[in-house]
Amino acid sequence: MSRILVTGGAGFIGSNFVRMVLSEHPKAFIVNLDKLTYAGNLENLAGVLDHDNHKFVRGDICDGELVEKTIDDYELDTIINFAAESHVDRSITGAKIFIETNVTGTLTLLEATRDKNIERFIQVSTDEVYGSLGPEGVFIEETPLSPNSPYSASKAAADMMVQAFGHTWGVKYNITRCSNNYGPYQFPEKLIPLMINNAMNDKDLPVYGDGLYVRDWLYVYDHCTAIWQVLEKAKPGEIYNIGGCNEKANMKVINLILSRLGKPETLIKHVKDRPGHDRRYAIDAGKIMSELGWKPSVAFEEGINATIDWYLENADWLGHVVSGDYQNYYESMYGDR
């Protein structure tokens, strides 16, 4: 039976992972350690918060004493690190917290992994550590790290720290590098939920630059199943890219959302570009497919429709999330853009 410390399990991907594991892997026991930053939300865990195989602990992954006590108290044998500051735009306006959580936090978890003899440490990383692509080519696991934003630089630093702990102390790790996720419970600072929320409310849709930037979209459930396959089947020290073979220009995604919601294209507003904006990401996920037998199960059309339906049906969740601080964030990011 896996006894797993999931960090950041009240965020978007972490909460989807907790829900997937509790429903599909009844022998797993999860302790969910989350600081509940602006991106963490116990409402993301509705229906599973009090599950017998789930315990929630509020705390910071930079707090080594708490991490070690939690591992001891619950006799944990595995760590999956989702906790992070995750939004590129926020890293451009303030990078320090990205170093604290993404680098120092990962280091703290690695020290506990080493000292408590944790059997496996999985670092949930990102394709952004590889930098940006031109019109051709894909990222493979051997692509050199070349991060461009403070966010991706912090994630690349964390990946290298994980490898250093493997090399120096024999920590058994895997690193996963996934492309852009979308689906239920995503905070509306990221492209898809932000555009859905604005379109639902007849607000302008702020498209950075020409809108022809390309991302490789994966439905969040498929990212979660990929991480589970890595946990169950991967040899220690292996790195896996995860992606959906689903490249789309931002304008294409936005037009799909508008047409599904029956809203006019006149809502689209091109605004000042993101500084240092990566042009294109594309993932070769051949290694995880051939070695571990993983493949995505949700096509983009199906996933985007399910996502839009989820936001329409969860107006309370959305209302809570966009009240208060979100309004200040939105004004500071988009007010005079």
* 218, burial (CB in 10 Å: exposed 0-12, middle 13-18, buried 19+): buried
Other beta carbons within 10 angstroms of residue 132's beta carbon come to 18
* Residues between 166 and 185 with contacts to ligand NAD, criterion CB under 6 A: 178, 180-181
C-beta closer to ligand NAD: residue 60 or 267: 60
Q: Which two tokens stand for residue 230?
A: 């890595």
Binding mask 73-92 for ligand DAU (x = CB under 6 A): -------------xxx----
Please tell me whether residue 191 binds ligand NAD under the rule CB under 6 A. Answer: no
Most distant CA atoms of the chain, gap in Å: 57
Give CA angle at 27 (25, 33), nearest 5°: 80
Please tell me whether residue 104 binds ligand NAD under the rule CB under 6 A. Answer: no
Please tell me whether residue 84 binds ligand NAD under the rule CB under 6 A. Answer: yes
C-beta closer to ligand NAD: residue 62 or 256: 62
What minimum distance in Å lies between the beta carbon of 262 and ligand NAD? 27
Residue positions annotated with a catalytic role: 127-128, 151
Q: Which two tokens stand for residue 313?
A: 């049906």
* Residue 283 DSSP symbol: B
Please tell me whether residue 38 binds ligand DAU under the rule CB under 6 A. Answer: no
Among 126, 174, 197, 307, binds ligand DAU (CB under 6 A): 126
Which partner from the list ligand NAD, ligand DAU, none does 54 bind, CB cut-off 5 to 8 Å by kind?
A: none
Please tell me whether residue 206 binds ligand DAU under the rule CB under 6 A. Answer: yes
Sorted by sequence, the CB contacts under 8 Å of residue 74 that are 6+ apart come out as: 3, 5, 29, 31, 55
Query: Each residue of 244-264: b (16+ CB within 10 Å) or e?
Result: bbbbbebbebbebbbebbebe
Sorted by sequence, the CB contacts under 8 Å of residue 332 that are 6+ apart come out as: 93
Among the candidate windows 45-53, 161-169, 206-214, 289-297, which touches ligand DAU by CB under 6 A? 206-214
For 223, phi then psi, to 5°, come to -65, -40
Among the candidate windows 57-65, 67-75, 138-146, 271-279, which touches ligand NAD by CB under 6 A? 57-65
Question: By Cβ distance, which residue is nearest to ligand NAD?
Answer: 11
Distance CA 51, CA 140 (A): 38
Other beta carbons within 10 angstroms of residue 59's beta carbon come to 16
Binding site for ligand NAD (CB under 6 A): 7-8, 10-14, 34-37, 39-40, 60-62, 82-84, 86, 101, 105, 124, 126, 155, 178, 180-181, 187
Binding site for ligand DAU (CB under 6 A): 86-88, 126-128, 179-180, 190-191, 194, 206-208, 213, 215, 250, 274, 281
